[in-house]
Structure 1
Amino acid sequence: MGSDVLVSQIIHYFQTDSSQYWLYVWQHIYLSGITLVIAMAIALPLGYIGSRIKTVAAFCTAFSQVLRIIPSLALLFLLIPFIGTGMTPALIALVVLALPPLLINTILGFNEVSPLYKEVGTALGMSRQQLRRQIEIPLALPYILNGIKLALVEIIASATLATYIGAGGLGTLIFTGLGLYDMTYVVIGGVSVAILALLSMAGFDFLIRRARRYDEASYSI
């Protein structure tokens, strides 16, 4: 298929099926967003606890290493006999895949907070809650945001496989194109997933830079 023909077919698709395309985009974003929220609700508190208790940190590190070697497609198929198909197994599989970067970066972020800042805060009469809210969390935030960024990119990329179990999303276009030997659908789906991932990375990189500048301005000693 020539490039001119491919471009014309892509244009034709958007002219005739744009509503279907945006439905796939919404499904992909919705699945990714819910996954990220659930993974953060699990990983951020556990990561904070791990930064304070070495045995928890060791468990989180070992757990994350195990999760990283499990292929996302294999995990999806392993869940089918127990949960069936649809949104629920896709959510579980994606949450599991998102946990390692969130856990590791949260633990790293809190561990990187210099004891000097805590000593200064304690000398100023701060309570433990104030130390956590005003010193520990702001200083750990760039690392936490980096973990969220890595997790979200992993989720967006892996969510394409959720099509296999009926969860929808942009993977529908990719696998439809592969099944029909039609590169039009593959290109539209693949480029759309790449754009979502790149936008997520750019957005979080901006937030990380802002958080670091704020830390440098506020906590320079």
Structure 2
Amino acid sequence: METLVELWNYYAQNYAYVWEEFYRHFLMSAYGVLFAAIVAIPVGIFIARNAHLSKWVFSFTNVIQTIPALAMLAVLMLVLGLGPNTVVAALFLYSLLPIVRNTYTGIRNVDQAFIESGRGMGMTKFQLLRMVEFPLALSVIMAGLRTALVISISIATIGAFIGGGGLGTIIIRGTNVSDGTGIILAGAIPTALMAVVADLGLGWIEND
């Protein structure tokens, strides 16, 4: 009960600050996924056309995925310094694998009958991609974006350690005070809600 009271009091006294960090946290996550999508979707389409290159691309993205988030942030910090830009760069790297993999899978799994029909109508390769392959693969690509965004929201929490801000700042503040469970929850609950809402929102778009 005391924890709930502490949580309520923290929100009542710091609602503007919590909202500011919530907004910053979401922007870092969204920008990381957006920049990754700009790179990863074309790469996924390219390796779907050139399957012999897929193992090299997936090997690279898999290696990135195995690097602990704190280690990744520490390395990037040496190049980019402290702040949200470094966090966005890390989220960009972590978002590559799910988007590339789902784009590759979606394009490769398009029914060849639709492609042959398009060719029979005289479509060019670009027209086939734009009007046939990409629309049919879009739900699978959206699933990759959905996964990437949820991963980014969770990893962005650690960005507070390098001055990136976000809800992780509140969680760290709670760990640095005695009996700061309420403060920890004040940062953890919005983070979890953000991830759930992002997942449900993109899931709705994916199934629409």
Which TM-score tier does this pair reach, normalised by the shorter chain?
A: over 0.9
Out of 121, 126, 136, which is 2:123 matched to? 126
Report the more deviating stretch, 124-133 or 158-167.
Answer: 124-133
- Please name the residue that 1:39 is paired with: 36
Deviations 1:143-193 (A, max 9, x none): 100000000001000000000110100000111111114011111111111
Give matches, 1:205-216, under 5 Å: 205-210=203-208
Name the structure, 1 or 2, with higher relative contact order (CA <8 Å, separation 6+). 2
C-alpha contact 2:44 2:103 (8 A) present in aligned 1: yes
Q: Does residue 191 of structure 2 align to residue 193 of structure 1?
A: yes
TM-score by length of 2: 0.95
CA distance in 1, matches of 2:61, 2:27: 25
CA distance in 2, matches of 1:205, 1:80: 33
- Please name the residue that 2:57 is paired with: 60
CA distance in 2, matches of 1:131, 1:89: 38
Tell me the SS of whatever aligns to 1:180. coil
Report the more deviating stretch, 78-87 or 106-115.
Answer: 78-87
Shift of 1:128: 2.2
For the aligned residue pairs, the C-alpha RMSD in angstroms reads 1.2
CA distance in 2, matches of 1:203, 1:60: 29
- Please name the residue that 1:16 is paired with: 13
- Please name the residue that 2:182 is paired with: 184
Matched-pair identity in %: 29
Q: Does residue 160 of structure 2 align to residue 163 of structure 1?
A: yes
Q: State the one-letter code of the partner of 1:145.
A: M
Out of 199, 202, 207, which is 2:200 matched to? 202
Give matches, 1:42-121, under 5 Å: 42-121=39-118
C-alpha contact 2:91 2:155 (8 A) present in aligned 1: yes
- Please name the residue that 1:143 is paired with: 140
CA distance in 1, matches of 2:120, 2:79: 54
CA distance in 2, matches of 1:65, 1:82: 22
Report the more deviating stretch, 69-78 or 155-164.
Answer: 69-78
TM-score by length of 1: 0.90
C-alpha contact 2:139 2:206 (8 A) present in aligned 1: yes
CA distance in 2, matches of 1:53, 1:120: 22
CA distance in 2, matches of 1:35, 1:169: 14
Q: State the one-letter code of the partner of 2:17.
A: Q
Unmatched tracts of structure 2, length 5 or more: none
- Displaced runs of 4 or more, over 6 A: none
CA distance in 1, matches of 2:120, 2:160: 56
Q: State the one-letter code of the partner of 1:17.
A: N
Tell me the SS of whatever aligns to 1:192. helix
Tell me the matched-pair count.
207
C-alpha contact 2:174 2:184 (8 A) present in aligned 1: yes
C-alpha contact 1:60 1:104 (8 A) present in aligned 2: no
Shift of 1:125: 2.6
